[in-house]
Amino acid sequence: MPFAFDSFIVEKEKPAFAVVMRRYSISMGEAQKIIDRGRMLCNGTTVTQKNQKVAGSIKVLRFFPKSRDLPPLFIRPHFMVFEKPSGVLVHPNKVLTPYSMLDEIRHYGGENANSVHRIDMETSGLLLASKNRETEILLKGMFEQKRIKKSYLAWVHGNTKEHFFVDAPIKVRTDYSTSKHKVAIDSSGKSAKTEFTKLLYNRAKDATLLHVNPLSGRTHQIRIHLFHVKHPIIGDPLYGTPFEIAEAYLEERLSQEDRIKYTGAKRLMLHADTLEFKSDCYYYIKSQIDFRKEIDKIERVKFSCFT
């Protein structure tokens, strides 16, 4: 498990934040986060205030990366690019998370390395990570300014048009009583645009491979836009399945057999394929995974687009 306690002794009373800052050479804000998350103990009791004076036996819950031998696809002095497998979280969502891409990022990039954008757990493909905090701030800013372009590949249900464009606003849902969709197409939502180009159609599987160019970066944008035009991504357990199937997936009780039966695959068939940006020079980075071969993992299903 990547999280473990670092134990040490503080002989003279000092403010908790100062102890954490000095021990790990981090900023006051980062030390505050550790304390706010209840990850510092003094003599067996959780420290709750950053200015609390502490001395004696100190324990701090820290992240110690455990690599599974997944080296970067591409590495530069200040950043790295990984091929994230489907089913792996980018960051641990709880202390007991056994493995995430952060294990590889910190293993290969050091204690201050971090991912600079989001990829859904079930999406595979390129993940950009910084090796220091200055680069992290720079790259995150470039994403916000749309100076980093991403493209995807998606296997979807049915035979699509050769080229199509979806311009439909997206709103984050707050009521999940009738639908388990995280977002919905809604006129009051935020602007969202996605461009799709057909690469090939497999008649035997009734599946189309699309090149996807998201022109905005909303939550689940590609998934909801494809569901909206009735060509959901194969393997998607949320957008295009009955309520009870989506609920079972979220509660981690959906069997692989039922997932294949209702979605056509064991995983979400979405892949982050390219990254393009300019910093010290121009970078065009392409995934080395041949996503066309993922067709072998798809089962043909009689698809109905549930709402």
Indicate if 154 and 292 belong to the same structural domain.
yes
Residues in contact with 225: Cβ distance below 8 Å, sequence separation at least 6, in sequence order: 166, 168, 192, 194
Same domain, yes or no: 33 and 139? no
Co-location of 15 and 107 in the same domain: no
pLDDT in tens, 237-254: 999 899 999 999 999 999
Q: Is residue 166 located within the same domain as residue 278?
A: yes
- Residues identified as active-site: 120
- Is 303 inside a domain boundary? no
Average pLDDT over the chain reads: 93
242 and 156, same structural domain?
yes
Whether the Cβ atoms of residue 196 and residue 190 lie closer than 8 Å to each other:
no
Is 241 inside a domain boundary? Answer: yes
Look at the chain and report how many structural domains it folds into: 3
Decide if pLDDT at 307 tops 60.
Answer: no
What is the rounded distance in angstroms from the CA atom of residue 149 to the CA atom of residue 274? Answer: 8
CATH number at residue 24: 3.10.290.10
DSSP-assigned beta bridge partners for residue 172: 183
Phi then psi dihedrals of residue 139, to 5 deg: -70, -40
pLDDT number for residue 194: 97
Cβ-based burial of 44 (10 A; exposed 0-12, middle 13-18, buried ≥19): exposed
Q: Residue 88 has which token pair?
A: 């792996």
Give the model's confidence band at 25: pLDDT under 50 very low, under 70 low, under 90 confident, else very high: confident
Q: Which pLDDT value is given to residue 305?
A: 61
CATH of residue 263: 3.30.2350.10
Domain boundary among 39, 63, 87: 63
Q: Can you give the residue range of the structural domain that contains 127?
A: 74-144
pLDDT tens, 147-176? Answer: 999 999 999 999 999 999 999 999 999 999
